[in-house]
């Protein structure tokens, strides 16, 4: 911005010293604002950027003359030095490592294909080392630490010579119990090779992926997929999702390799992928569990291979869309009629082949795919939606050999039922105009006043009924009602063994049961309803009762008539409403997970999580704050986020306080005073907005990139319990890949649920493989916190480290 003012400075014919003085001031303002988020001190700014001061001294002394171009060159030079001094974030480092590999991949492009990627790029020592650093960055390990226990030179020889032992670099974990499920995971060397292959394949295929494809791509993840559905799909009439399922087998692998052969010419690369399939370590499955949630059973190569395989389907969807849209000469988009030559050409090509499609007037097809989750919206008749769905199912089944649930229901978008996609709910609602909202304020006020009076009436009648019941029971004698009982009943036999003076309780209860049966209260909502409607209201004077219900009736009539009259007076332009697409967080599913993990009781009250009591105070708070951080990061833009705020304040925060109170056996108020600063990480009411603004800051652009953070940004919270402390006689290292630190404690993983596909996005781990249940892992304090707050996922843990 300051460069704009230079011509104006020169035009004013200022002196050279004045120009330099102004540039020096601008430079301090430009570079002295912040460094790593902190304001620079004036002394530091002057010390770091002292070049112009020396130049000014030289000019004043007459030792030389400087031109304006040289002064500007100093500004550029100092700007680059400032960028070099700024520490890069972990995802910026990862992006720089991937760019280094990208240059090597581009060098292997000849005649429209990438050649010899395995020997020239993947087996390169520098590529393997960069891939290893990417793994350490994902695990939040400092790559500056010299802890390389891998011989990249030996790996290069083995990969180049085709003698790399894939099976020898795997390990398997079996489930405990009747169900025999085996999970095969790669060891560190094989994981480095998989990471290198993943980066190379992304460089090759990223420019060719379709726009409807989301997942494991820069700028195209969960958020972009839901934003496309809510903002870019206008006026859909029908929508549906398709559930595909199929584990990787020889048929799909051969199809995948043939697809890859169109752009890559490298038999060695295909051989090692085949070797991983034979060793059952690719871990690629369509359906089964949510993708991108950091689950250990999702392989490193699974996302990119799935996108490559389904990219054929994405391009087929484009052809199907043209089939249903291009034949109609009267399709309108945004009120304008389109007469493009391309659309006319498609119309001429397809009209002769499929005449029946000419009846599909005004059709519009929308598609969105996140990995193996498919969403479709159709603007047009239901017959068009049914035909389109049939074509999609046939292509997936016949051409891609995938199993599809063809019974998926096609729902009207304007209906009350929401559709599930990416673990959230999507629905269409009417957004009222400001004029209509103002007219509805009167209705809301009157309804609120009437409901308050109804509540006061119910409270008063219930109080009268309870007093009546207590007075009546005191006046009843046991001898007067004893003949009503059945002498052979169990209650009567139990009452005979009671102490003197205690038999009366049984007879009072029995009398109340007889009375309840006489008045036929089976359909009553509660005991209070019975006392209010069948006892108290009958005793209230009739005039008072009739006047109250007359007031309620008149209030309801007034609201209806007044609202209709007000809306009739409004002009049509101001009374029009707009239908929008809303993204809804699955609050009911979240509440069920809170119950399952022990945060709440069946009545919704906060509880103590016993598995966390033995852990350190800060670790307990980290676990609870991890839930809040995930909700703030995932659901802050959703329409019902206010409901989650209430859950944070009333259940999550209180459960954390009660867990700490149970640990120290003190009152909850004492815990709030003692851990006031630490508990501020679990926002109560006003702090949610501050947390959301922090998440949206521009400095976190790379850290919010879902391609770099795939498997981390949406990793769910898992429950760990302390197993034992590490001693000198029983040492243990941190299980996180690349971490050289010792683990002070050993923890046990608790697999709490295994959701069906597709599942809900709740903040907790959706579907950890059952073979990892009760599995013990060692973690240092840093990585335990990272796992709790969502900075790493279970994919960064080397489960083969246990000896």
CB 156 within 8 A of CB 770: no
| Total count of residues recorded for the chain | 803
HSE at residue 158, side-chain half, CA atoms within 13 A, is 16
pLDDT tens by residue, 28-54: 444 443 333 334 343 434 334 344 344
Average pLDDT over residues 716-744: 88
Q: Map residue 270 onto helix, strand or coil.
A: helix
CB 263 within 8 A of CB 200: no
pLDDT tens by residue, 704-726: 677 788 889 899 999 999 988 88
Q: What is the pLDDT of residue 800?
A: 85
Q: What is the pLDDT of residue 355?
A: 39
User: How far is 269 from 275, CA to CA, in rounded Å?
Assistant: 10
- Residue 291: both structure tokens together: 């993708």
pLDDT tens by residue, 459-485: 888 888 777 777 766 665 555 555 555
Tokens 């709740």 belong to residue: 762
Highest mean pLDDT among 39-48, 140-149, 396-405, 753-762 belongs to: 396-405
Q: What are phi and psi of 291, to 5 degrees?
A: -90, 150
Q: What is the pLDDT of residue 331?
A: 42
Contacts of 173 (CB under 8 A, 6+ apart): 182, 183, 185, 769, 771, 772, 775, 799
- Note the maximum CA span of the chain: 124
Q: What is the mean pLDDT of the chain?
A: 78
Planar angle of CA 80, 86, 89, nearest 5 degrees? 125
Average pLDDT over residues 185-190: 92
**Position with higher pLDDT, 575 vs 752:** 752
Q: What is the pLDDT of residue 278?
A: 93
Q: Which helix (H) or strand (E) holds 134?
A: helix 125-138
Share of the chain above pLDDT 90, in %: 41
DSSP 150: S
The lowest-confidence range among 169-183, 231-245, 611-625, 743-757 is: 169-183
Q: What are phi and psi of 792, to 5 degrees?
A: -135, 170
User: How far is 387 from 325, CA to CA, in rounded Å?
Assistant: 13
Q: What is the pLDDT of residue 525?
A: 61
What's the CA dihedral at 366, 371, 373, 378 to 10 degrees?
10
Name the band, by pLDDT with cuts 50, 70 and 90, for residue 257.
Answer: very high
Q: Which of 304, 400, 429, 325 is nearest to 367 (CA)?
A: 325
pLDDT tens by residue, 76-97: 566 555 555 567 788 888 889 9
Contacts of 799 (CB under 8 A, 6+ apart): 171, 173, 185, 296, 735, 772, 775, 777
User: How far is 767 from 764, CA to CA, in rounded Å?
Assistant: 9
Q: What is the pLDDT of residue 341?
A: 56
Q: Which helix (H) or strand (E) holds 365?
A: strand 364-370
Q: What is the pLDDT of residue 544?
A: 86
Q: What is the pTM of this model?
A: 0.74
């Amino acid at each position: 911005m300051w460069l704009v003012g230079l011509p104006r400075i020169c035009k004013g014919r200022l002196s050279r010293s004045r120009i330099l003085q102004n540039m020096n001031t601008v430079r301090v303002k430009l570079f002295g604002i912040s460094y790593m988020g902190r304001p620079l001190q004036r002394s530091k700014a002057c010390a770091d950027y002292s070049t112009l001061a020396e130049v000014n001294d030289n000019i004043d002394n007459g030792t030389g003359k400087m031109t304006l171009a040289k002064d500007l060159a100093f500004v550029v030079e100092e700007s680059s030095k400032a960028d070099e001094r700024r520490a890069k974030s972990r995802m910026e480092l990862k992006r720089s490592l991937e760019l280094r590999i990208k240059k090597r991949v581009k060098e292997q492009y000849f005649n429209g294909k990438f050649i010899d990627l395995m020997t020239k790029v993947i087996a390169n020592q520098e590529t393997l080392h960069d891939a290893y650093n990417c793994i350490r960055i994902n695990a939040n390990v400092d790559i500056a630490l010299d802890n390389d226990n891998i011989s990249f030179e030996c790996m290069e020889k083995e990969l180049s010579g085709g003698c790399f032992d894939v099976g020898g670099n795997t390990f398997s974990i079996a489930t405990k119990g009747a169900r025999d499920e085996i999970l095969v995971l790669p060891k560190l060397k094989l994981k480095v090779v998989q990471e290198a292959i993943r980066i190379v394949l992304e460089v090759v295929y990223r420019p060719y992926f379709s726009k409807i494809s989301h997942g494991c791509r820069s700028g195209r993840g969960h958020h972009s997929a839901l934003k496309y559905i809510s903002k870019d799909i206008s006026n859909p009439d029908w929508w549906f999702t398709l559930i595909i399922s199929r584990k990787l087998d020889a048929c799909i692998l051969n199809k995948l390799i043939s697809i890859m052969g169109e752009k890559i010419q490298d038999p060695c690369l295909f051989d090692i992928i085949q070797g991983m399939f034979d060793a059952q370590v690719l871990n690629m499955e369509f359906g089964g569990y949510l993708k991108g949630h950091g689950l250990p059973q999702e392989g490193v190569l699974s996302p990119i291979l799935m996108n490559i395989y389904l990219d054929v389907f994405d391009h087929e969807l484009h052809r199907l869309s043209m089939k249903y849209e291009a034949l109609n000469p009267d399709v309108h988009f945004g009120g304008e009629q389109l007469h493009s030559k391309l659309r006319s050409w498609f119309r001429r090509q397809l009209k002769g082949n499929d005449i029946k499609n000419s009846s599909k007037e005004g059709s519009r097809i929308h598609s969105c795919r996140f990995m193996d989750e498919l969403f479709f919206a159709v603007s047009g008749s239901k017959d068009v939606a049914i035909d389109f769905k049939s074509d999609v199912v046939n292509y997936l089944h016949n051409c891609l050999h995938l199993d599809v649930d063809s019974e998926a229901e096609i729902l009207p978008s304007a209906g009350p039922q929401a559709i599930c996609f990416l673990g959230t709910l999507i629905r269409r609602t009417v957004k009222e105009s400001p004029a209509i909202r103002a007219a509805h304020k009167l209705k809301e006020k009157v309804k609120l006043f009437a409901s308050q009076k109804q509540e006061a009436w119910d409270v008063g009648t219930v109080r009268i009924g309870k007093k009546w019941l207590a007075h009546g029971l005191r006046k009843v004698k046991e001898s007067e009602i004893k003949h009503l009982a059945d002498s052979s009943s169990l209650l009567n036999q139990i009452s005979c063994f009671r102490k003197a003076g205690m038999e009366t309780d049984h007879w009072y209860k029995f009398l109340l049961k007889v009375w309840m049966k006489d008045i036929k209260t089976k359909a009553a909502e509660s005991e209070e309803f019975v006392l209010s409607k069948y006892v108290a209201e009958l005793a209230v004077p009739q005039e008072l009762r009739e006047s109250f219900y007359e007031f309620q009736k008149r209030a309801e009539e007034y609201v209806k008539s007044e609202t209709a009259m007000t809306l009739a007076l409004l002009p049509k332009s101001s009374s029009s409403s707009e239908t929008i697409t809303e993204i809804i967080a699955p609050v009911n599913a979240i509440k069920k997970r809170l119950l399952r993990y022990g945060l709440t009781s069946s009545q919704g009250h906060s509880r103590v999580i016993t598995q966390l009591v033995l852990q350190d105070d800060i670790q307990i708070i980290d676990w609870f704050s991890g839930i809040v951080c995930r909700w703030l990061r995932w659901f802050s833009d959703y329409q019902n986020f206010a409901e989650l705020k209430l859950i944070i304040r009333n259940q999550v925060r209180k459960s954390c306080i009660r867990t700490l109170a149970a640990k120290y056996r003190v009152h909850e108020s004492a815990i709030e005073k003692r851990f006031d600063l630490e508990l501020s990480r679990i926002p109560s009411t006003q702090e949610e907005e501050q947390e959301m603004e922090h998440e949206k800051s521009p400095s976190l652009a790379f850290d919010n990139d879902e391609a770099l953070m795939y498997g981390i940004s949406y990793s769910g919270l898992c429950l760990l319990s302390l197993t034992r402390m590490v001693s000198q006689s029983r040492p243990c290292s941190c299980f996180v890949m690349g971490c050289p630190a010792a683990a002070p404690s050993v923890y046990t993983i608790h697999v709490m649920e295994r959701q069906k596909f597709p599942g809900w996005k709740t903040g907790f781990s959706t579907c950890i493989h059952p073979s990892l249940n009760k599995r013990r892992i060692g973690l240092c304090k840093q990585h335990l916190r990272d796992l709790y707050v969502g900075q790493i996922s279970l994919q960064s843990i080397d489960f083969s480290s246990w000896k």
